[in-house]
Amino acid sequence: MGFRDMKRRDLLSLIGTVAGSAVMYQAATSLGLAAETTYKGPIKLDGDAKGASILILGAGVAGLVAAIELRKAGYKVQVLEYREKAGGRSWSLRGGDTYTELGGFKQTVGFDKGLYINPGPWRIPYHHRAVLDYCHRYGVALEPFNQVNYNAYLHSAKAYGGKPQRFREIQADYHGHVAELLAKLTHQNALDGTVTKEDQEKLLESLRGWGGLDKNYAYAASLESSNVRGYEKAPGGGMNGAPVPSTPASLRDVMQGGLWRFLGMGLRDEFQSTIFQPVGGMDQFPTALAREVKDLIRFNTKVTEIHQDDHGVTVTYTDTVKGGAAQTAKADWCLCTIPLSVLSQIKLNVGPKMASAISAVPYEAAAKVGLQFKRRFWEQDEAIYGGISFTDLPIAMIGYPNSGYGSPGKGVLLGTYVFGAYAMEYTAMPPEERIKRALAYGAQIHPQYTKEFDTGVAVGWHRVPWTLGCHASWTEETRAAHYQDLCQVDGRIALAGEHASYITGWQEGAVLSSLDAITRLHQRVVTA
């Protein structure tokens, strides 16, 4: 879902932009962020399942993957799902949908046909190989998600007079000044003894190209710098085709403006190209998985108790639509993918270690606001095609649609995507107030907002009825104390989901966790 831990990410952003991506990668690895996927290709559950049965709780991505694979391996599978459809947090809101959050606040989405937002996950990085493999195997069409758009904006109310700056200009000015400084030090022989003369020659050559320096190694108004940051008047054709260079901001303005803080995100392993999105909304992914196992899923089913003994697992549930008395489902084994925010409230007889782990993990606050405008002014007026503008305003970012470029009709932006204190404040507001706030803040970046706004929808994740929070929020301390206990099979019960992974908040974490849990369960069944 994006930001796992704002503080850690801010730190990485700082390290990344100041020290360069190599140092940042090292730091990220030591913090457990940049590890390669452990996905080894399609799972092979060899050995006889001996007709064993399994109850899967939750038809989100983790539960669906498990249902597909366990049925293939010969299990009798039943899936119980609280929602009326599959997908869990992998979810899209499109025109005609109604969404009622906790507290009864109901929204009817007024978006035009084909327009949507993904309130939950919205990106699939190229190295999330498990999710991509399932997308490919089950026919989920993908298209590029532009993380970095050089022509989108970076904005701070406190910098550059509050005027949004193009990503391209800020990055060019930051790189250019750093390159000029390093070139100066090299020419002043400050690197002698540290860097050989031969390497200094190469360094100077690379700095000129990377930083857009002129022949005197200055970062100044020149065709070289404009070739990176853009021109005052771009090269054209005919009589007036000659370009006019643009003037870079001063080092002081670049440093004090602080917009360099936003440059690091797209450099990080998680957000490097290529990133994908399913064509038509993230829910196309779980929908494709659910098609494979639709006969196994019981919807509108609220689990109230999970009980295991020597013979099997009994799950008590109620039907949230039909009501009536509590019912039970029984199986030999249980894979529970219910978010810990909910599972921690369900009666469950696991050992004290797993029970402690289930209660130890809070869930992040997050908020997203989708805004439909009467025209795609960001494309028509500002040449922004997809990608993200970043700001220090409480909306944090504006995400532009990565499809339908140049469409003459309406368009939908992601007008807020925020975590932490701001997300809690958004969540505490009624949806219409969240939309008003998103509009007021966003208009500081795009004045067209005021005239062109049409309709919106807003999601505060702590009010999402099926999850009560965005995603699991682990710390180094809670990982050390509880993570292994959470992942360990307890009797006949195993847990899976993004919370049982080191890739929290990402679908890849849910899939890898699920594959790992069913592999270990299957080993027990085969060797029993």
Partner 1 sequence: MTIFKSFTVKAAGLTALLTALHVAVGVLPHPAHAQASDASSAAFASPRHFGQKDGAALYQAICQGCHMPDAKGATGAGTYPALAGNPNLEAAGYPVAMVVHGQKAMPPIGEFLDDDQVAAVVNYVRTHFGNHYTDTVTAADVKAAR
- Residues 26, 29, 38, 100: which binds partner 1 (CB under 8 A)? 100
Cβ-proximal residues to 481 (8 Å cutoff; 6+ apart), any chain: 360
Element (H, E) at 79: strand 76-80
- Piece of 31-39, 68-76, 160-168, 427-435 that binds partner 1 (CB under 8 A): 427-435
Q: How far is the CB of 50 from partner 1 (least distance, A)?
A: 33
End-to-end CA distance of the chain: 39
Cα(198)–Cα(128) distance, integer angstroms: 41
Beta strands at 53-57 and 333-336: parallel, antiparallel or unpaired? parallel
Q: Any contact of residue 466 with partner 1 (CB under 8 A)?
A: yes
Contact between residue 465 and residue 115 where contact means Cβ atoms under 8 Å apart:
no
404 Rama class: left (phi>0) / alpha (psi -120 to 50) / beta: left
Q: Any contact of residue 433 with partner 1 (CB under 8 A)?
A: yes
Cβ-based nearer residue to partner 1, 268 or 463: 463
Cα–Cα distances in angstroms (integers) from residue 484 to residues 64, 176, 479, 495, 500, in the given order: 23, 47, 8, 11, 9
Cβ-based nearer residue to partner 1, 455 or 501: 455
Q: Any contact of residue 111 with partner 1 (CB under 8 A)?
A: no
Please, is 148 exposed, middle or buried when counting C-beta atoms within 10 Å of its C-beta (0-12, 13-18, 19+)?
Answer: middle
Cβ-based nearer residue to partner 1, 89 or 175: 89
- Piece of 221-229, 428-436, 503-511, 519-527 that binds partner 1 (CB under 8 A): 428-436
Cβ-based nearer residue to partner 1, 250 or 304: 304
Give the CA angle between residues 10, 16, 20 to the nearest 5°: 170
- Piece of 200-208, 311-319, 407-415, 467-475 that binds partner 1 (CB under 8 A): 467-475
Q: Any contact of residue 305 with partner 1 (CB under 8 A)?
A: no
- For the segment 57-86, give every residue that binds partner 1 (CB under 8 A): 82
Q: Any contact of residue 107 with partner 1 (CB under 8 A)?
A: yes
- Piece of 41-49, 242-250, 306-314, 453-461 that binds partner 1 (CB under 8 A): 453-461
> Which of 182, 179, 172 minimizes the C-alpha distance to 247?
172
Cα(2)–Cα(245) distance, integer angstroms: 37
Q: Any contact of residue 417 with partner 1 (CB under 8 A)?
A: no
Cβ-based nearer residue to partner 1, 97 or 269: 97
Cα(80)–Cα(67) distance, integer angstroms: 11
- Residues 243, 280, 420, 491: which binds partner 1 (CB under 8 A)? 420
Amino acid at 169: E
Q: Any contact of residue 388 with partner 1 (CB under 8 A)?
A: no
Q: Any contact of residue 139 with partner 1 (CB under 8 A)?
A: no
By the criterion CB under 8 A, which residues form the site for partner 1? 6, 82, 100, 102-108, 302-303, 338, 340-342, 344-346, 359, 362-365, 394, 418, 420-422, 424-425, 427-433, 435, 437, 455-457, 460, 462-469, 473
